[in-house]
Amino acid sequence: MIRRSALLTSMLVLVSSSALAQALTCVAPPALPVERSLRQLYLDLLGRPPTLAEYRAAQAKGHVDAADVAELMGREEFYARMKEYHRALLRSNITASLPVTNDMRLNSSTDGAMPFETRGNPSSVTRGRVGLGCDHFIAQDDCQNPATQQDPHAEGPASAKQCRDANGVPLPVSFDYDPATYLCTPLTGATSCPDAVTKGLLPDKYLYFCDMRRTGANLVPNKCLPDPTKPTTMALTQEVVDGAGRVVSFVNPTPSPTAAFNQLDRCTLTMAPRNGVRGTYAVQRGCFQREGWVKAPAPFWDTSGATEITACAIEAQDRPVNPATMATCDGAGFLTDRSCGCGARFRRCEAGDGSVLNARIAAFNEEPLLIADSVLRRDEDYFNLLTTRRSFVNGVLSAFYQQDQGAGLWSVSTPLARANIPAVPYTTDPKTFVEYVRGDNASGVLTTPAWLYRFPTQRSRVNQFYNAFLCKAFTVPAGVVAPDPTDSCNRENNLAQRCGCKYCHATIEPTGAHWGRYGERNAQYLDPAVFPKLDAKCRDCALSGNTICDFECSNYVMQAYDGDGAKSLGLLKTYLYRTDEEAPNIEGGPRKLVERMLQTGDLERCAVKNVWKEFLGRPMSAQEEQMYLDQMVQSFVDEKHNFKKLIEAVVTSDAYRRID
């Protein structure tokens, strides 16, 4: 009897629970107070709560509907909110993506004529020490003025000095002995080097090793001899004299091929060719050889209204090439070539305070967000942000492209012929952007410098595309066992086939080929007209063992590590290990990848999931995917991928109204 009673009770409980569950399932979620609905929408769509007036207007209406949502999505606050959404989605920030060295920054000196100068590593090649500027007290083209001659006892007559070479390249106007090599002792009480000899402070034989060094604005004679306490110079004990009995060199009587110095000659204004190449110059070892200052047009970033500034003569040059060697001055080594300089209006250099660099980074970061913004404002197919040629420049980017600025730090292809880039003055408000259409190779945000620099390799670009637009990650399938380290398959160079790697790279490698015409760790487009699939010169260099090949073949296969590599010498690197089916991805570019993904439905499904996560604050649950995903994807397709309609569908859903 007790058992039957317990069983009956259990059955009643089950029936009651089932009925209750059914009742709960069928009851629609209670309507939210209009104030709560309004606040939730304002916070999510505009990033702020409603004002008192906006609350009262909604209360008077009595409800919030789709028309209200559409009105909110027409406000500037909504578009600003969506720019931040896309900033996070695209991870648009290249601040940490550049190898900033500050070498090309111009800073004003504080004495003499106070010229602008660079103070980075290149000065060791052009002047003899890292961070060394020019002579602030001697005008370059007045170098023959006896009144400014620094070391007449060692230089000879001022009238014999050469201010520039035959091509107009500035030559040294003064020299000093390097205290890192020489021990320099001030000759207190003397006003000049000959005066120090007369007063017995300096033996006449060391007259050429007497250096007039500046202490503030004054010149003080110093005796500079090889430092006997340093291992690099202590062995330079033998003196070489000229016909007048004056020392012209210090040498090691027992020279060693491993010694840092076996001979040090007296410093002069003469510079030898670098590596024997005429038209280039090498600073004399143990010496500083400095040019003077000149007047030059004001830098492009100057907002003071000045028409000219004082600058060091090397930096003030504006040649496009070295006039003797014809080597370009727009390469990374322009500051180490004495004949190049910073270019017209210092276009290759930057402001010393970092403002130019920061302005460029900010502009490049903004470009993909403006592309996305333009798609939303025009109610275009959302995936145009991945394929459109439309883009934007402000004054900073316009000057960057038109004037070919930023050599040595930036490696960015001009997206259109320079003459067709919108002309926006550099000093225009940086928030003012002008729309234009890029070249045929452009593909939405996927070919902007922000994307290419932020994701610097083909593999990282694929990974981000999968994460952001396909909601997929590359992971090893469950149950896969790592191969034995001794297995020969670990030595397979093609990652798409290497054991342990192929599970991800079989997809990553062929997909990465879509960025095969874009350089890695830069934003260069490898135009087929300039970078053919096969370069005969690179092939011939590789076959002869010359893997450097005049530094022209860094984008080509120059060494063979396996059979495929041996067959691919001289081939553009991105074609290595590509099958016949994968090769078209290279020329098709990122646009072809997007077109292919649109055939799978993955782009639409991921867009729905991204918007859901953004506005509900969490991913879709498995149950919600069953209830909403297919329906919202189909609606998104029917609405021709209208992103605002997708947002409206999410924020008017039952799930959104149930948010606590």
Question: How confident is the model over 193-217, as pLDDT tens digits?
Answer: 999 999 999 999 999 999 999 987 7
pLDDT at 175 over 50: yes
Which tokens sit at 411? 């490696």
Burial-class residue 643 by CB neighbours within 10 Å (0-12, 13-18, 19+).
buried
How many alpha carbons fall within 13 Å on the CB side of residue 363?
25
Q: Encode pLDDT of 387-429 as tens digits.
A: 999 999 999 999 999 999 998 899 999 999 999 999 999 999 9
Task: Report the alpha-carbon angle 610-612-617, nearest 5.
Answer: 100
Residues in the chain: 660
- Supply φ then ψ for residue 396, to 5 degrees: -65, -50
Give 163's pLDDT tier (boundaries 50, 70, 90). Answer: very high
Is there a contact between 308 and 156 (Cβ–Cβ < 8 Å)?
A: no
For residues 275-303, average pLDDT: 95
Is there a contact between 651 and 66 (Cβ–Cβ < 8 Å)?
A: no
Distance CA 249, CA 251 (A): 6
Q: Which residues pair with 220 in a beta bridge?
A: 213
Distance CA 230, CA 228 (A): 6
Residue with tokens 């316009």: 398
Least confident range of 29-33, 161-165, 287-291: 29-33
For residues 336-351, average pLDDT: 96
Give 27's pLDDT tier (boundaries 50, 70, 90). Answer: low
The pLDDT of residue 551: 85
Question: β-strand 350-351 against 116-118: which pairing, if any?
Answer: unpaired
The pLDDT of residue 31: 67
What 8-state DSSP symbol labels residue 107?
Answer: E
The pLDDT of residue 4: 42
Q: Encode pLDDT of 217-233 as tens digits.
A: 789 999 999 999 999 99
The pLDDT of residue 14: 40
Least confident range of 97-101, 180-184, 280-284, 459-463: 97-101
Q: What is the DSSP string of 474-520?
A: --PPTTPPPPPTT-GGGG-S-TTTSTTTHHHHHHHHHHHGGGTTB-T
From the list 495, 498, 502, the residue with the least C-alpha distance to 485 is 498
Give 15's pLDDT tier (boundaries 50, 70, 90). Answer: very low
How many other CB atoms sit within 10 Å of the CB of residue 640? 11
Which tokens sit at 128? 């003899």
The pLDDT of residue 513: 96
- In 369-512, DSSP assigns E strands to 390-393, 434-437
- Supply φ then ψ for residue 648, to 5 degrees: -60, -40
The pLDDT of residue 18: 45
Burial-class residue 366 by CB neighbours within 10 Å (0-12, 13-18, 19+).
buried
The pLDDT of residue 6: 43
For residues 550-556, average pLDDT: 91
Per the prediction, the chain carries an average pLDDT of 93
pLDDT at 549 over 60: yes
Which tokens sit at 31? 């309507």
pLDDT at 487 over 90: no
Distance CA 138, CA 174 (A): 8
Three-state secondary-structure class, residue 434:
strand
How large is the angle between the packed helices 395-402 and 355-377, nearest 10 degrees? 110
Give 29's pLDDT tier (boundaries 50, 70, 90). Answer: low
Percent of the chain topping pLDDT 90: 86
Least confident range of 270-279, 449-458, 595-604: 270-279
Distance CA 133, CA 107 (A): 10
Question: Rg of the chain's alpha carbons, rounded to an integer?
Answer: 35
Residue type present at position 594: V
Which tokens sit at 581? 């089916």
Cα distances from 600 to residues 86, 512, 569, 606, in angstroms, run 23, 18, 37, 11
The pLDDT of residue 30: 61
Q: Give, for 541, the enclosing helix (H) or strand (E).
A: helix 536-543
Which tokens sit at 396? 């900073």
Give 603's pLDDT tier (boundaries 50, 70, 90). Answer: very high
Distance CA 329, CA 337 (A): 8
Three-state secondary-structure class, residue 88:
helix
The pLDDT of residue 5: 43
Distance CA 209, CA 223 (A): 6
CA dihedral (487, 488, 489, 493) positive or negative: positive
The pLDDT of residue 408: 86
Residue type present at position 575: Y
491: left (phi over 0), alpha (psi -120 to 50) or beta: alpha
pLDDT at 17 over 50: no
For residues 20-41, average pLDDT: 69
From the list 123, 104, 111, 157, the residue with the least C-alpha distance to 289 is 123
pLDDT at 22 over 50: no
Distance CA 398, CA 363 (A): 10
The pLDDT of residue 28: 55
